[in-house]
Structure 1
Amino acid sequence: MKERLLFTFLLIVAIYTIVPWVATRIFAIGVFRRGKVTNQVALTFDDGPDPVYTPLLLDLLQKHKAKATFFVLGAKAERHPELIERMHREGHQIGIHNYSHKSNWFMSPWSVRSKQADRSAEIVASITGTKPDYYRPPWGILNVFDLFFLKHYTVVLWSVMPKDWRSRVGRNKLKSRLLNTIVPGSVVLLHDSGETFGADRDAPSHMLDALDDVLSHMKERGLVTVRVDELLQASMKYRLGLFKRVLVNAWMAWERCFVKLFHLKSVDSDNPLVKLRVREYQGRQSIVLPDGEQIRKGDLIAEMHLDNYTLFKLGIDSRSTVQLATQLIRRTRTLMPAISKLLLTDPQYENVKGLYGITMIHRGSKQLGFAVFDLPEGLFARMTRTYLRLLLYVVHPNGKERLKEKTDLLEPKIVAISKNELKTRYIA
């Protein structure tokens, strides 16, 4: 009897806590945590307003003409209404982060809604005249009833968390983490207060120092900082259904495993479209390139792989496979000098015959000097065709429709270019 009661209790606790954690953190069900755009990033700040750090942050955002979203605590908003009013006046978005910084796991769903979220929203509305409808729970933790009781709020999590609440992270490490992880569509979690449990009081000072440099670098990369509601609105046309979202997440997880398993290396960390690995060519038929170079079975080649996440980001803005191919050619063209230099100077590539790949999006590759060959018919060709068509379905939000386009545009081909041709075309 005791064991049954214990099991029932643990089951209830799991449903109340773990189920919503899995649903929101892994599958993003009922929450927004990443945008599908090409040049926008949302900076978000939790735990404020703080009388010391929030004014400095607002000055910094004004300096860089950047907009942000503040998820504020209702209790602090009551104490510092002038900061809430300034956020609103300067065009920033104000969201809710509960009345006090308590975990939703340790409160009833009725308390979360009435005493935490709704109470805080009313406080902000009394100051600005606008009631917030965006919500982020402390630590990003929801209970299972929040998924239903907080339906009138847009629940926002994050895709970048540099752990800025610890002073020991410091300015330089924090700056590096942000620059290495922020991509178009990122929702960045930062803190303008260090008073909550587990945080260091002076941590926001390091965040401010790092953010000043990061905002400058983001401008150089063509990234625009926007409010969460603006990022969400821009992403609406790219929102995916549950099945497609699960499939995309699974595919991207496979991509990460594949990269590690086969030791693929990016040519350029700032433009991760192309990854390379050295391997032996296993084709049954030799490849004879236009300059006379031959790639025979057993010869070393630099095998080229396109980054699926980058493909997905390009695909969401492509109206057709032709347009996607055009974008790929443009991006690849900028990488060709770096690829050529790598193959011609790096000892790892000393014995390779050339650059080789199999792609279904080969339109325009001849402009870059690649020769294009048909895949020899057989089991490998059929498997490759199936794999690449599935890949197109995954990486393109309208992949199902894209698969109905002209089949000659969706036929996998071998593309290859010799070392000598790379040297002639791209090395001065």
Structure 2
Amino acid sequence: MDRIVWWLFSFLTLYDFIPGLISRVFGFRVFRRGQAGQEIAITFDDGPNPEYTPRLLDLLKRHNAKATFFVVGAKAEKHPEIIKRMYDEGHSIGIHNYVHRSNWIMSPRTVKRQVQRTSDILYEITGRRPMFYRPPWGILNLFDFAQLRHYQIVLWSGMFGDWKVKTGEEKLYRRMRKQLAPGEVYVLHDCGTTFGADERAPEMMLAALSRILDDGDRMGLRYVGVGELIEITETIKADEKERRAAGGKQEGRNGRSVPKPGPMKRLVVWLWMQWEKLFHVIFRVKPIGDGDFMHYRIVRYSGKELRFDNGSVLKRGDKVLEMHFDNEKMYEVGMNAKSSVHIAIRVIREVQRALPDMAKEIKRIDKDESIKALYGVSMINRGAEGLGFETFDLPKGLFSIMTQWYLKLLMSIIHPEGGGRVRKHRDTIEPRIIAMARERALSWESGEKSAEISEAYRSKRPGLAAKE
């Protein structure tokens, strides 16, 4: 009997307690607090609620405040019109499981199913996959870090007891006011029907939040989504690292100092660029449109079958327009970027600019409609789904191993932090297939979709749009 108890205790410690401890105390693989000059992130769990969430959205709109909603999939499925409004008004949407159940009492497979089901629901409503995940009660199990590696796990720096009516509006306000500062991540609740909460508690939360938003406006704070706060934080950290580094600097195009490549790196870059030119000649890689950032070639797809959300299927032997970045331009972007986030933003924007030209090129050269998709493999894939791409895991095998080696070598060359960035983040930097079905690609032909995406980007990230 003692052995069984000891085994159970050991299992629970490994599966539940230790992962929770290292994520809460040490912040391992999670985002809890940012660094910012005037930005703060307010997040809401457990919704949407048909009574309180629309009132909350009205309040946020009056203050031009953006928030992040970690929604329960079953409730999102029941109230898609509220989710659509969140998205249309520029708020970020994350996953809070399909039902509000702790990851400690669910198997890894069940957690994965809950997350995927919620992701599918949100994609069906908004046309975009969520990037952020918060487990109920902030509780993680041992396997969450590995199987949810494509999501940014977000916890909080401030929790205030807003789910209990007995807290009271005044006490809740004072608690929130005490932590009202740039970089904080508040967690509040726009639904009181979950276990342990009071159904009318959101009424008190809304009253206290209204006062906090007024205070923040007077202090000059900006209420932003978690994604923007993460981007600002990474930029500040990159700048601080540069200021600490002494010597070996050169001035970048944007006026900031960047690390000066050593002679060995300059040689490697030169050899790489020669290979780039040879590759373009041998494999007949052509530029897209008037730009020189994106190139393409038409090839036969040779991987495993890919199923797109619109029902179409990419099969082995189908023709695809294979996308290629110009590595010389990528190197210039990397050496003038503040962080990997800025590299990703630049790349996504260049792809966005090129998509209308890709659509026109498909119509020009493909009279028999045999090109089935746009296709590429890239380590810079975060944000691609916002442009209409779908991402897939690389099939395991020699191709996957060689591709990972090649792209990590490329990243170590183009990134301002060099190979150190790849070694430090080898568990999160992962190449994936990015592909877009033909019909969706052709929808970019008029350029209207590009303008729509640009406007959505500016409305959600005004600070970054101004800096870029």
TM-score > 0.5, shorter chain as reference: yes
Q: Which residue identity lines up with residue 89 of structure 2 in the other structure?
A: E
Displacement of 1:237 after TM fit? 3.2
1:326 aligned partner = none
2:71 aligns to what? 72
Correspondent of 1:143 among 138, 141, 144: 141
Match of 1:199 among 193, 197, 200: 197
Whole-angstrom CA distance in 2 between matches of 1:190 and 1:69: 10
* Alignment partners' CA distance in 2, 1:29 and 1:60: 34
Post-superposition Cα deviations, 1:291-333, rounded to whole Å, max 9, x if no partner, equal xxxxxxxxxxxxxxxxxxxxxxxx9599479xxxxxxxxxxxx
Give the corresponding residue for 2:122. 124
For residues 120 and 12 of structure 1, do their structure 2 counterparts lie closer, same or farther at Cα, with a shift above 3 Å needed? Answer: same
Question: Amino acid of the residue matched to residue 77 of structure 1?
Answer: A
Residue 222 of structure 1 corresponds to which residue in structure 2?
A: 220
- Do the aligned partners of residues 238 and 22 (structure 1) sit closer, same or farther apart at CA in structure 2, a change above 3 Å counting? farther
Verify the 8 A CA contact 1:160 1:182 in the aligned structure 2: no
Report 1:156-195 matches (<5 A): 156-195=154-193
Contact residue 36 and residue 316 of structure 1 kept, 8 A: no
Please tell me the residue identity of whatever aligns with 1:105.
Answer: W
1:214, 1:163 → 2: CA distance? 15
Alpha-carbon distance in 2 for matches of 1:9, 1:177: 39
User: Does the C-alpha gap of structure 1 residues 63 and 72 become closer, same or farther in structure 2, counting only changes over 3 Å?
Assistant: same
What do the CA deviations read for 1:213-238 (whole angstroms, capped 9, x no partner)? 10010121221100000000111134
Query: Aligned-residue CA RMSD in angstroms?
Result: 2.1
Distance 1:19 1:234 in 2: 30
Query: Distance between the aligned counterparts of 1:169 and 1:238, measured in 2?
Result: 36
SS at match of 2:159: coil
1:18 paired residue number: 17
Q: Which whole-Å CA distance do the structure 2 matches of 1:156 and 1:239 have between them?
A: 18
Is 1:91 equivalent to 2:101 in the alignment? no
Residue 307 (structure 1) aligns with: none
Identify the match of residue 153 of structure 1 among 135, 151, 154.
Answer: 151
Counterparts of residues 13-412 of structure 1 (less than 5 Å) = 13-114=12-113, 116-239=114-237, 319=243
Q: Which residue of structure 2 lines up, in the alignment, with residue 248 of structure 1?
A: none
How far apart, in 1, do the equivalents of 2:181 and 2:40 lie? 7
- Measured after TM superposition, the shift of residue 25 of structure 1 is 0.4
Partner of 2:325: none
How far apart in 2 are the matches of 1:38 and 1:84? 30
Deviations 1:251-285 (A, max 9, x none): xxxxxxxxxxxxxxxxxxxxxxxxxxxxxxxxxxx
TM-score (norm 2): 0.51
CA distance in 2, matches of 1:205, 1:5: 47
Q: What SS class does the counterpart of residue 237 from structure 1 fall into?
A: helix
Q: Tell me which residue corresponds to 1:417.
A: none
Q: Deviations over 1:59-93 (max 9, x none)?
A: 00000000000000000001100000000000000
Taking the aligned partners of 2:228 and 2:100, their CA distance within structure 1 comes to 26
Deviation readout 1:359-387 (Å, 9 max, x if unpaired): xxxxxxxxxxxxxxxxxxxxxxxxxxxxx
- The question of whether the paired residues in 2 share the 8 Å contact of 1:45 and 1:69 is answered with yes
TM-score, reference length from structure 1: 0.56
Query: Structure 1 residue 58: deviation in Å?
Result: 0.2
Alignment partner of 1:143: what SS? coil
Deviation of 1:5 after TM superposition, in Å, equals 3.0
Gaps spanning 5+ residues in structure 2: where?
Answer: 246-468
Q: Which residue of 1 aligns with 2:7?
A: 8
How many residue pairs get aligned? The number is: 247
1:312 aligned partner: none
Partners of 1:112 and 1:208 lie apart in 2 by 31
Partners of 1:209 and 1:5 lie apart in 2 by: 51
Which whole-Å CA distance do the structure 1 matches of 2:243 and 2:215 have between them? 30
Q: Deviations over 1:18-44 (max 9, x none)?
A: 011111000000100100112110000
SS state of the match for residue 37, structure 2?
coil
What secondary structure does 1:234 align onto?
Answer: helix
Cα distance in 2 for partners of 1:235, 1:320 equals 17
3-state DSSP class of the match of 2:109? helix
**C-alpha separation between the residues in 2 aligned to 1:3 and 1:238?**
52
Residue aligning to 1:387: none
Offset from partner CA, 1:98-156 (integer Å, 9 cap, x none):
00000000000110011x11100100100000011200000000101111111111100
